[in-house]
Chains A and B, each alone.
Chain A
Amino acid sequence: MPLFGSDSKTKSSLDGLWLKCNNCGEIVYKKEVDKNLKVCPKCNYHFRMSAKEWIDILIDQNTFHELWDNIESIDPLDFKDRSRYRDKLKEAQKQAGVNDAVVTGYGTLNDMFINIGIFDFNFMGGSMGSVVGEKITRLIEKAAQEESNLLIVTSSGGARMQEGIFSLVQMAKTNAALSRLKKNKTLYLALLTDPTTGGVAASFASVADIIIAEPKALIGFAGPRVISDTIGQKLPEGFQRAEFLLEHGMIDMVIERKVIKKTITQIIRLLGNTEKKLTAS
């Protein structure tokens, strides 16, 4: 299982001990990066993390309970391009070590109860198909019903094309669930990590009560290549990065990984449900 997913094409040539940073190009000692929460010690680049790594950072030790990990795609369109979707799924499951592109469950965060969904970019670019849509919807429904805190950590290129229209309507399904959640005091936080685009950006990721993003995360509706092809221009420096969205009023804050847990804790204390206990779920 590759540690840095698509970030680490150069990993093998560097013998597993060293990493080449995607941002500054420096060769850095892997252990040092790991210790630094997968942030480049030279330039502060935030490497992508797997769902498991996020759980380790955010959720109190031994409190995470995974839910609905038995839900799997059935390849509803019997989709085949140059290879079969069902083969790609198997490959992705093996490679990413998860059943689909989102891991859902609950646990505590500094002793406060939280429902959490984390995208795993290693699994087909974090794309949303029927499985992701169903798990996110169940998580939203659970949080809304309990009036307990909800956190979704996104990292997704958008819809899962291989599931065609079923993947598109997951945007409707998740947002329909959110329209119910908004009727009570359930706190919904979104943490947008690199990248958050397409159907995930244009549904639940953009309408949380508070939206946090990681430094330099790519966030937007259309992918940068599609935009530059359409307008026939080079894109401005920093376009669609977290700082750009902050400047344009689309997100609430850009927070470094080392203080994310602290920031979320603070927000839950101010707005969230601090009463609910883990055992009650």
Chain B
Amino acid sequence: MIHQPLDFEKPIYELEKKIEEFRQLSASEGIDLSDEIARLEKKVKKLREETFSNLSAWKIVQLSRHPERPYTYDYIYLISNEFVEIHGDRRFKDDTAIVSGIGLLNDQRVVFIGEQKGRGSKDRVLRNFGMPHPEGYRKAMRAMDIAQKFGIPIVTFIDTPGAYPGIGAEERGQAEAISESILKLAGITVPTIGCIIGEGSSGGALAIGLVDKMFILEYAVYSVISPEGCAAILWKDQSKAPQAADALKMTADDLKRMGIADEILKEPAGGAHNDPKSMAQTIKEALISALAELKSIPADELVKNRYSRYRSMGQFREIGK
């Protein structure tokens, strides 16, 4: 069950809590409450379905940032048999907001790269809230080089509020690091798969998001700017974030429709945080089938297809044509 409910999850949370209490009561006192529990479970199921059947973009944004949502590490450990993490950019430091390493997906080698948020206040600070510095992207590029050298496919997990806007980040070339990372992914000759697992925000997300195939979780988002940032600039009022979330068309459905994401991975009832294991299983199956598909394509064709994929993104008209 959830422990830190969002506002709109609270009625579900209260019911779940009650069920839990009844369970404990029936165990400790030896009273048979099974009918009552079954009734409540039916009720909570229905309530969950209702709550999640027609979520606004703003609610989806909140789910994508849910403090209990599984993060990159969770998925890496849940889906891979082995994982060897690499550290540091060999230039400045090890950025813990990005995790990368080599893992085994069943019997296939995969290079994992992902943004990592922390859980709990201390860990959140340690991971810089999932906001990488240039050295994070440079570590990611080291992982890409390893993938290229040993012919290993890359899987990226995208989950960041954005690249960190700070003095050190600017001094050490945040813009250059992001740009080089995008450039490297464009030219790499191994298969690349992206999966937006939470919030994919701005250039900090795109830095590891130029891929052959892009998955997005049902309640993940992907956007050029956070709705709060957009509202502050265009509405001159941060409280208009819900309107901005609508206007930006940043949900999985929007992205699939616009051809930015290829496939939506359905989340367990109530969202990924209600059942991380089953979410991980869904991701694992999707990755394995995508890997099989992409591995069968010759390298030069793979790079060519990737080029065409991004070449065609964007909408405009040519007058007189």
Residues of A within 8 A of B (CB): 68, 70-74, 76-77, 79-82, 129-131, 133-134, 137, 159, 161-173, 175-180, 182, 197-199, 201-207, 219-223, 226-227, 230-231, 235-236, 239-240, 244, 248-250
Contacts and interface: CB of A to CB of B under 8 A. Distances in A.
Given A70-B321, A173-B311, A198-B203, A165 B165 contact: no
A70 B258 contact: no
A207 B318 contact: no
B230 A176 contact: no
B173 A250 contact: yes
A202 B175 contact: yes
A226 B183 contact: no
A166 B307 contact: no
Contacts of B172: 248
A73 B318 CA distance: 9
Contacts of B235: 81-82
B210 A176 contact: yes
A88 to B, nearest CB: 10
A91 to B, nearest CB: 15
Residue from A162, A164, A167, A203 having most chain B Cβ neighbours under 10 A: A164
A74 B179 contact: no
B315 A204 contact: no
A130 B316 contact: yes
B174 interface: yes
A221 B167 CA distance: 11
B122 interface: no
Contacts of A71: 316-319
A73 B316 contact: yes
Contacts of A137: 311
B209 interface: yes
A77 B171 contact: no
B174 A220 contact: yes
B248 interface: yes
Contact of B307 (A81, A176, A223, A240): A176
A279 to B, nearest CB: 25
Contact of A70 (B164, B225, B320): B320
Given A168-B202, A203-B182, A226 B165 contact: yes
Contacts of B255: 165
B253 to A, nearest CB: 13
A207 B209 contact: no
Given A168-B203, A226-B165, A175 B250 contact: no
B180 to A, nearest CB: 6
Contacts of B165: 221-223, 226-227, 230
Which 6 A-B pairs give the minimum distances between C-beta atoms?
A222-B165, A130-B314, A221-B174, A201-B175, A76-B315, A179-B186
Contact of A164 (B169, B224, B307): B224
A129 B166 CA distance: 26
A169 B313 contact: yes
A74 B316 CA distance: 5
B14 interface: no
Contact of B233 (A76, A80, A161, A167): A161
Nearest to A240: B170
B213 to A, nearest CB: 14
Contact of B317 (A72, A79, A179): A72
A63 B57 CA distance: 50
Contacts of A77: 247-249
Given A221-B174, A227-B166, A72 B316 contact: yes
Contacts of B178: 202-203, 221
A239 B166 CA distance: 11
A223 to B, nearest CB: 8
Interface string B127-150: 000000000000000000000000
Contact of A134 (B210, B260, B316): B316
A207 B170 contact: no
18 contacts: A72-B316, A74-B317, A82-B236, A129-B314, A131-B314, A137-B311, A163-B224, A172-B313, A173-B311, A176-B210, A198-B203, A205-B179, A207-B179, A221-B163, A221-B178, A222-B165, A222-B166, A249-B173
